[in-house]
Amino acid sequence: MLFSKIFIPTLRETPAEAEAVSHILLLRAGYVRQLAAGLYIYLPLAWRVMGRINRIIREEMGSIGAQEISMPGLHPADIWQETGRWYDIGEEMFRLKDRGGRDMCLGMTHEEIITWLASMEIRSYRNLPQVWYQIQTKFRDEARPRSGILRTREFIMKDSYSFDADEAGLEANYQKHAEAYNRIFRRCGLKFHQVESDPGMMGGATAHEFMATSPAGEDTVVLCAGCGYAANTELAMSVPPPQKLKGDEKDTATEDVATPDKRTVAEVSGFLKADPSCFIKSLLMIGHEGPFLALVRGDQELHEKKLQKVAGNFRVAHKDEVKNILGVEAGSIGPHNSTLKKFADASLKEGVYIAGANREGFHTKGIRPHVHFEAEWHDIHVAREVDKCPKCGAGIVLEKVIEIGNIFKLGAKYSQPLKAVFLDEDGKERPVIMGSYGIGPARIAASAVEQNNDKDGIIWPQSIAPFDVEIIPLDTADRETMDTTEAICRELEKQGIEILVDDRDERPGVKFKDADLIGIPFQIIIGKKGLKDGVVELKQRRTKVTERIAPSEVVSKVKDHLAVS
């Protein structure tokens, strides 16, 4: 491919709206352009990258027996009404009416549609198992699209769905997908983790996410080097360090102390000269069944999602509600002498604590769990790096990550309402057991850029680079330079290696800068200087290491490099 014939609008300066590294580089290197918030146009280079990623996905999906199909992006509402998601999902679903006034929506995922298909076509256990997938556009009216192509309102997703007769079959398909996903992300050159995740609204018991390491990520995972425990912080357990007592705590008696104008844990902690871990943070929440207290240790933060899982939907009480319900300001709440229902972090099961006295300007010392208050105990704190692994006690590490794939065991969650049933060997009708499995190819691309770049631009992993090699003839008017370029080009193409030739009549500096920015892993630089010595230069984008070699040897050298990378 000739540079002059492919549209690569590189930018010298960074567009103001870009913040994330991948966003900046994909814009600057001429890969994408933004149409509106969360809507992107993929230019030729980006589309080639997507093509390579999707090819890897197709190969690996094929290897586990998945069959590619294609489903509409426009859906009738009634199927979504049958599963209830038409009503459960709010503004995130794009809804519209057709000319006949029928309710429609743009598909944000395809469980409903594929289950409808299964309900129509699968009759017998003999038809099972099936694994169907597609690489197709999804629509989600995100509250806040962000970070370039990382979170968009329209995006391509590889989604597959497994149909089995029983749980054992699901387990097998789930494992196959997990293995295929590991191969896909490894082949795409990503650093990633497979972690336990919250099944959330997808339903089902088991779910894992595939997370690419990146500071631009929206999620955080907890990783244990000791035993391999890995989980999204939304559900990751962790054991906090022991409480730091001063040693002068009294046995059982509680005592109120004046703490004028001190509200936050930090303020009271400094005032009373006690470590934050000696405090109970009490937060008033409004749940479906009325107000309740959430309790965490003073040195910890409450994880609202974890609490939601055990307490149901809730919201933080407003200032005036705190005053009305408890009679004191937020800084003076305590768990003792309160009759409200309480959810407490498990770390509060033991120890002696200071908490708000439930009267203005005072805190109570000497509060003991079980003695002075009872609660429902759960891990509801935000994991920190000072915490220990819940499985093996070793230290844990927190990492920012981008979600690039997920796998869910759905069970009968969709097959039941949509009546996707089959007759088993005994002639008994049973719901199909399902799993659903997603990958975001654009997020793979963005993650690859996030993980592989330097001050000069992108450094693509070989497997998903838009081209394998960029050839840079420095003087396009020079006969020998162009003859050599064409000869090398022909040989490389014969080997199935994809090449971009910068045939533009530009100064060498411009070509070098653009080549580094675009990030094709190898550059072959052909200039008069080198040809005088009978050599061309083979440069690795990542290391900037340059080898001077004879034109006749370039092809085999490139093949050597491609083989190892």
* Min separation Cβ 316 and RNA, Å: 9
Residue 306, judged by CB atoms within 10 A of its CB (0-12, 13-18, 19+), counts as buried
Site track 148-177 with RNA (rule: CB under 7 A), x = hit: ---x--------------------------
Residue 249 found at the interface with RNA (CB under 7 A): no
Size of the site for RNA (CB under 7 A): 60
Query: What one-letter code names the amino acid at 389?
Result: C
Q: In this chain, which of 331, 417, 527, 551 binds RNA, going by CB under 7 A? A: 527
Residue 201 found at the interface with RNA (CB under 7 A): yes
* Min separation Cβ 507 and RNA, Å: 4
* Min separation Cβ 417 and RNA, Å: 15
* Pairwise CA distance, residues 493 & 495, whole Å: 5
Q: In this chain, which of 512, 519, 554, 558 binds RNA, going by CB under 7 A? A: 512
Nearer to RNA, 250 or 529 (CB): 529
Nearer to RNA, 109 or 338 (CB): 109
Q: Which of residues 382-411 bind RNA (CB under 7 A)?
A: none
Q: In this chain, which of 48, 52, 85, 176 binds RNA, going by CB under 7 A? A: 85
Q: Which of residues 15-54 bind RNA (CB under 7 A)?
A: 15-17, 19-20, 23, 28, 34, 36-38
Q: How far is CA 417 from CA 38, 84, 166, 276, 295, in A?
A: 33, 9, 17, 50, 39
Query: What one-letter code names the amino acid at 420?
Result: A
Contact 152, 38 (CB under 8 A): yes
Residue 73 found at the interface with RNA (CB under 7 A): no
Number of neighbours of residue 454 by Cβ within 10 angstroms? 12
* Pairwise CA distance, residues 220 & 417, whole Å: 34
* Pairwise CA distance, residues 463 & 140, whole Å: 29
Q: Is 337 helix (H, G, I), strand (E, B) or coil?
A: coil
Number of neighbours of residue 518 by Cβ within 10 angstroms? 27
Residue 288 found at the interface with RNA (CB under 7 A): no
Contact 380, 77 (CB under 8 A): no
Residue 450 found at the interface with RNA (CB under 7 A): no
Q: Residue 395 corresponds to which tokens in the numbers above? A: 């230290």
Nearer to RNA, 17 or 560 (CB): 17
Q: Which of residues 293-312 bind RNA (CB under 7 A)?
A: 304-305
Q: What are phi and psi of 461, to 5 degrees?
A: -60, 140
Distance of CA 325 to the CA centre of its chain: 40
> Contact positions toward RNA, by CB under 7 A?
10-17, 19-20, 23, 28, 34, 36-38, 85, 89-90, 92-93, 108-109, 111, 140, 142-147, 151, 200-202, 218, 304-305, 456, 474-475, 507-510, 512-517, 525, 527-530, 537, 539, 544, 546
